[in-house]
Structure 1
Amino acid sequence: MGGEEERSSSDLTVGLLLAISSTVFIGSSGIVKKKALIKIHAYATRAGDGGHAYLKEWLWWAGFALLATGEFLNFIAYAFAPALLVTPLGALSVLVTAVLSHNFLKENLNLLGKVGCMQCIFGSTIMVLHAPAEKGANTLAELSILLQESVFVTYIVGLLIVVIVLIYVVSPTYGHKNILVYLSICSLVGSLSVLACKGFGIAVKEYSKGTNTFLFPITWFLLTSLVICILMSMHYLNKALDTFNAAVIAPIHYVFFTTCVVTASGILFKEWASMSMQDSLSTLAGFGVIFMGIYLLHTFKDANISMDAVTLMSPKTKAEDMSLLNSHSEVVSMDSDTESTGHMKSTSERVRFL
């Protein structure tokens, strides 16, 4: 009994270390890729303008390798620690990105941006902790049936319509102005890549047990969808990184991506039906906190707001400012009286002269 407790305790420690390490890799990957995107500005078309010169830059591939390593470590962490602990730790990557962007990219979050960042992390953590338990599918046959459910098909059709409108209607006009456009495309498409990855994982698992799943059309459909979704998601994330502040992108992308994945997975595997009223209300509350955080991040991202500015609004300072204003008013009043008296004297002198 004691040996079992010791083993589970050591597994938990390993899982937490893997999860924390993955956040460092994932958080730093965005900074490295951003450095690469800045580097190519001097000799090639920017990624924000549709260029792909970053694919020839080794620094960008180094950032991609960091991201892949972080995701791999995070995947392994689930084998050692419960998802209840591993998933919320993913929010730490946002803080890693914020710190590194300040030190290496000279990008700063203003005071309201920091508050919004923390709200996004807290809100997404609430949503993840109260998300429905993942059920999944054990075989490709089960997955095939789930993929053909009318609710999921309707969701996919609606999602694709939204993505097409964002790409061809909204993006050309507002993509360079509104940070939510590129990140919405990236997150919506990215959530499909997660589902495709889960499905392809089932195919590989069945193949390892002796079933040649690569003879099934659904296996190639899942693999093709996975590649396309990853490429599209990567493309629009690079456009966002090349256009906007990495410290602002990190929390919004984390929230959007997490929300889209939880939503798509819940619809596909019918996980929402098992949610209690408490979990449902907590999820809505978490979404509300996220909405306020994103509002602060997006609306005030260019404002110069710091703690010094807040200090200037303290009651003591206000009193000093009013006192100074009153003193200034008295001086102006005295000057006005002096000018008025001088004007009266000069007028009297003119009258006497006449």
Structure 2
Amino acid sequence: MGKTQDNVVGLILAVSSSVFIGSSFIVKKMGLKKAANNGKRAATGGHSYLYEPFWWFGMISMIAGEIANFAAYAFAPAILVTPLGALSIIFSSVLAHFILKERLHIFGVLGCALCVVGSTTIVLHAPKEKDIHSVKEVWHLATEPGFLVYICIVAVVVFVLIFRFVRTHGQSHMLVYIGICSLTGSITVMGVKAVGIALKLTFEGLNQFIYFETWLFTVVVVGCCLTQINYLNKALDTFNTAVVSPVYYVMFTSFTIIASVIMFKEWAKQDASQIATEMCGFVTILSGTFLLHRTKDMGSKPSEATIYSSPDLLNHPDNTKTPQTDQI
């Protein structure tokens, strides 16, 4: 299979992943709504959703999406696969508009359009995947001076954030948690790509699990994933999800592209105009993602500002408490 064909396979897998993951949010939410009508809500500690088929269908869809995303890294460069994750946001927003009746604001539609334009730009100008015939080649790339320097910088920054700033600033500065998630996430993707390539070659008849490098990459993936999950949960539990999601997407995608460029040298055979076009596509996706998140609740319900400025609502018995604001 040629490099261009590999990119096409990677593209199909990445888009399929976005469809599965995007739809999983909607199906799981349908299950949670049904569970809330029949028992204690999940937000208040209930587990009745475990008895809802819709919730399980959503979980299966998410797992299928993650598997497809994992496989995509084995065929296509990270600079192509990672930004396409924004498509899952589009898909879930559109489905929510039609199925859950969560109104998609006109600026949200514009955000979706920007994500599509940016994704198309990156797909059309993405670099071809480097031919790799053994996991030892990936190990060689991972142990070159440039990437070793990147790993050392990431390790130092992550350790400083964890042991110096998490306790003192984690609850008040969102970038502490998001920084840890994004930096370790960039290493996770490189490890996932290595394990994905090992699996791909193994299925082709070249067993890569006889090399210790394959198992070392697997350990790195597991360790980094656990770190990401831990601190992403802390961020989501502390700060507004509508703010955490776009900031995390921007930082995670940016660091992943940097790590991929350093390790796999994906821009080495591209000219300045191709690189600039890819960067424009990336910025377009970021702009669309940010716009979509910032406007996803507009028009669906009155804002706090409206509630507390209305003379009629100010005298309502349910509005006697002082409004709370998220600490960012």
> Secondary structure of 1:274's partner?
coil
Flag the structure with higher helix content: 1
1:269 to partner: Cα distance: 1.4
1:151 to partner: Cα distance: 0.6
Aligned pair 1:22/2:24, yes or no?
no
Instruction: Assess if the C-alpha contact under 8 Å between 1:116 and 1:292 holds in 2.
Output: yes
TM-score, length basis structure 1: 0.58
Say what the alpha-carbon RMSD is for the aligned residues.
Answer: 5.0
TM-score, length basis structure 2: 0.61
| Gap regions ≥5 residues in structure 2 | 1-7, 301-328
Tell me the alpha carbon deviations over residues 171-213 of structure 1, each in whole angstroms, 9 at most, x when there is no partner: 5566566666545443432332222122223444565677775
1:276 to partner: Cα distance: 0.8
Identify the residue that residue 216 of structure 1 maps to in structure 2: 211
Distance in 2 (CA, whole Å) between partners of 1:108 and 1:169 is 42
1:167 to partner: Cα distance: 4.2
Return the letter of the residue paired with 2:151. Answer: I
> Secondary structure of 2:268's partner?
helix
Aligned pair 1:200/2:185, yes or no?
no
Specify which of 263, 274, 295 is matched with residue 269 of structure 2: 274
Aligned pair 1:42/2:44, yes or no?
yes
1:164 to partner: Cα distance: 3.5
Aligned pair 1:140/2:135, yes or no?
yes
> Secondary structure of 2:255's partner?
helix
Distance in 2 (CA, whole Å) between partners of 1:61 and 1:170 is 38
Specify which of 260, 272, 278 is matched with residue 255 of structure 2: 260
Aligned residues: 284
| Gap regions ≥5 residues in structure 1 | 1-11, 45-52, 307-354
> Secondary structure of 1:272's partner?
coil
Distance in 1 (CA, whole Å) between partners of 2:10 and 2:149 is 37
Distance in 2 (CA, whole Å) between partners of 1:31 and 1:210 is 39
Which has the greater radius of gyration?
1
Specify which of 280, 285, 296 is matched with residue 280 of structure 2: 285
Specify which of 81, 93, 96 is matched with residue 98 of structure 1: 93
Instruction: Assess if the C-alpha contact under 8 Å between 1:94 and 1:254 holds in 2.
Output: no
Identify the residue that residue 344 of structure 1 maps to in structure 2: none
Distance in 2 (CA, whole Å) between partners of 1:194 and 1:81 is 12
1:224 to partner: Cα distance: 0.5
Distance in 2 (CA, whole Å) between partners of 1:81 and 1:268 is 14
Tell me the alpha carbon deviations over residues 43-81 of structure 1, each in whole angstroms, 9 at most, x when there is no partner: 39xxxxxxxx9xx96888765532220233456789999
Identify the residue that residue 229 of structure 1 maps to in structure 2: 224
Distance in 1 (CA, whole Å) between partners of 2:297 and 2:100 is 18
